Amino acid sequence: KAGVTQTPRYLIKTRGQQVTLSCSPISGHRSVSWYQQTPGQGLQFLFEYFSETQRNKGNFPGRFSGRQFSNSRSEMNVSTLELGDSALYLCASSLYETRAFTDTQYFGPGTRLTVL
**What are the C-alpha distances in Å from 68 to residues 12, 15, 34, 53, 73?**
24, 26, 11, 7, 6
Q: Which of 24, 31, 68, 74 binds another protein (CB under 8 A)?
A: 31
Q: Which of 53, 59, 71, 98 binds another protein (CB under 8 A)?
A: 98
56, amino acid identity: N
Q: Which of 13, 45, 65, 79 binds another protein (CB under 8 A)?
A: 45
Nearest CA to 63 out of 44, 80, 46 is that of: 80
Least distance from another protein to the Cβ atom of residue 63, Å: 20
Is 25 near another protein (CB under 8 A)?
no
Cβ proximity to another protein: between 32 and 78 the closer is 32
Distance CA 92, CA 107 (A): 4
Integer-rounded Cα radius of gyration of the chain = 14
Is 102 near another protein (CB under 8 A)?
yes
Nearest CA to 110 out of 18, 30, 33 is that of: 33
Is 11 near another protein (CB under 8 A)?
no
* Binding residues for another protein (CB under 8 A): 4, 31-33, 35, 42-45, 48, 50, 55-56, 58, 88, 90, 92, 94, 96, 98, 100-110, 112
